[in-house]
Amino acid sequence: MAFKSRWIFIGEGIWTIFIQTLIFIVTRIVLTKKASWWWFFGFLIFNIVILIISGVIVLVLKFKKIQEPKLKISPKEAVDRAIIELLEDTNNCDNFIVKDRLILNVGQEGAKKTNLLWATGRGSEKNQKVDAIINLEDPNEEISWLFNATDDKIMNEAIRLAAENPASEVKEEIVSGTDPYGRPIITTTRKSQSRAEKKEEEEKKEAMEANLM
- Whether residue 157 sits in one domain with residue 80: yes
- Whether residue 84 sits in one domain with residue 26: no
- Whether residue 90 sits in one domain with residue 47: no
Last residue of a domain, one of 13, 46, 67: 67
Number of domains comprising the chain = 3
- Whether residue 96 sits in one domain with residue 60: no
Last residue of a domain, one of 67, 95, 121: 67
Between 174 and 96, where is the model more confident?
96
Tell me the average pLDDT across 2-25.
74
Between 46 and 77, where is the model more confident?
77
- Whether residue 155 sits in one domain with residue 174: no
1-5, 56-60, 88-92, 128-132: segment of lowest average pLDDT: 1-5
- Whether residue 46 sits in one domain with residue 62: yes
Last residue of a domain, one of 11, 42, 67: 67
pTM above 0.75, yes or no: no
- Whether residue 26 sits in one domain with residue 55: yes
Tell me the average pLDDT across 1-27.
74
- Whether residue 88 sits in one domain with residue 50: no
What are the DSSP calls for the chain, one per residue? -HHHHHHHHHHHHHHHHHHHHHHHHIIIII-SSPPPTHHHHHHHHHHHHHHHHHHHHHHHHHHHHHHS---SS-HHHHHHHHHHHHHT-SSS---EEEEEEEEEEE--TTS--EEEEEEEEEETTT--EEEEEEESS-TTSPPEEEES--HHHIIIIIHHHHSSS-SPEEEEEEEEEE-TTS-EEEEEEEEEE-HHHHHHHHHHHHHHHHHH-
- Whether residue 177 sits in one domain with residue 146: no
- Parent domain of 202: 169-212
69-78, 115-124, 198-207: segment of lowest average pLDDT: 198-207
- Whether residue 98 sits in one domain with residue 174: no
Q: Is 194's pLDDT higher than 60?
A: no
- Whether residue 191 sits in one domain with residue 149: no
Between 167 and 112, where is the model more confident?
112
- Whether residue 180 sits in one domain with residue 158: no
